[in-house]
């Protein structure tokens, strides 16, 4: 039992998006959350919160993760258009 989850970042051809995953890890660290890059190409983000967590902490984490993904995806899209 536990709350450990993972998010895998890959393009439509299933090519690992390592840079994207690592940017999200950095963005989350800047927001005060520690995520663990994993997978053979560091394109997977492991999330391992404590078993006992208050819902307000979980909500803050989810909000920060959503914002971090949006920021990184926007930056990625802008870079791809160049």
Q: What is the dihedral of CA 7, 69, 20, 75, to 10 degrees?
A: 170
Q: Which two tokens stand for residue 30?
A: 């800047």
pLDDT attached to residue 51: 86
pLDDT attached to residue 75: 82
Angle of CA points 80, 8, 20, to nearest 5°: 30
| Beta pairing partners, 7 | 45
pLDDT under 70: residue ranges of the chain: 1, 82
pLDDT attached to residue 2: 73
């Amino acid at each position: 039992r536990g709350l450990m989850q993972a998010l895998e970042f890959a393009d439509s051809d299933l090519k690992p998006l390592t840079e994207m995953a690592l940017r999200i890890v950095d963005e989350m660290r800047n927001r005060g959350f520690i995520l663990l890059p994993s997978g053979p190409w560091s394109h997977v983000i492991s999330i391992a919160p404590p078993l006992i967590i208050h819902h307000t902490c979980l909500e803050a984490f989810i909000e920060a993760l959503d914002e971090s993904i949006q920021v990184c995806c926007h930056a990625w899209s802008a870079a791809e258009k160049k």
